[in-house]
Amino acid sequence: MGVHTIHAALLQRQVRVVVVGCGGAGSVLASGLPYLHQALIVRGHPGGLHVTVLDGEKISATNCVRQPFSKSEIGLCKSVVLVNRLNVFWELDWEAVPEHLAENRPLMRADIVIGCVDTRAARSVIQSSATRSSTVGYWLDIGNNADSGQFILGEPLNYENRRTGYRLRTVADLYPEVVDTELEERSLPSCSAAEALERQEPFVNTTLANHSLSLLAHLFRYGTIEHHGGFVNLATGHTTPLRIDPATWRRIQRRGKADGRPTNRHPASNETVSAAGSR
């Protein structure tokens, strides 16, 4: 098993974080980032976090059931409402971009990209943007099914992250089907609040977001991590870490090749990797 050490530059200046998507998981994660920012400042970090939230989605009545939006905000842009709220409460100067990430918008000013999206196409755009970027050090991906999901912190292969045996593999490295746009999308918009609750347990997004925040907090506080993600199943109560282990990474990738198609199961946990999410 290996240990990953945080990129040294992230302890020497303000850290630029881009959150792509602020639906079920993204809204919870973005709302938790001010706590990480405050903790960094208190411990002497020179700049804490500067967060940009990208999401062009508008608030619907369905969103007001499981996401931190109210009926009075229906029709407004999720990212603008959420970031304005965080800025007022925490006295921050974070930014909202009321657009979806597009192929022609490379992530040139991001150190950490956090993907909270619900389609293969959206993940594919994140992957290509992070790979083209010369600054993106980490890509943290969150995905979930009805009552389970995964969070995986990886180092996209780009100018910042060279090809080495212990480069943290991204979700796309390990499970290529989550960015395969030729596969059928399983996630469809919910037409009503009742339908949304039937499709997804109410706290699966919150659980995955908090696990992700905890992983980032540990990396910044101690400078190292021994796992770079995990698999959570609320139905069984099981949580399985994804260890920093090239042998495990190779087994995951070989298993997909042996089947003649990418695998979507982690060999140690038997958990299904999801390309879906919550909007």
Least confident range of 127-136, 223-232, 237-246: 127-136
Residue 10 clears pLDDT 50, i.e. is over it: yes
* pLDDT (tens digit per residue) in 74-100: 999 999 999 999 999 999 999 999 999
Strands (E), 107-156: 112-115, 138-144, 148-154
Backbone angles phi, psi at 114, to 5 degrees: -115, 115
* Residue with the larger pLDDT of the pair 185 and 170: 170
pLDDT at 107: 75
pTM of the full structure = 0.90
229-256 as b/e: b if 16+ CB within 10 A: bbbbbbeeeeebbbbbbeebbeebbeeb
Domain coordinates in residue numbering, the chain: 4-258
* pLDDT (tens digit per residue) in 211-223: 999 999 999 999 9
List C-alpha distances in Å: 73 to 23, 79, 152, 271. Answer: 14, 12, 32, 36
Residue 246 clears pLDDT 80, i.e. is over it: yes
What secondary structure letter does DSSP report for 58?
B
Domain 4-258, CATH 3.40.50.720 — does that match?
yes
Residue 7 clears pLDDT 60, i.e. is over it: yes
Percentage of the residues of the chain whose pLDDT score is greater than 90: 72
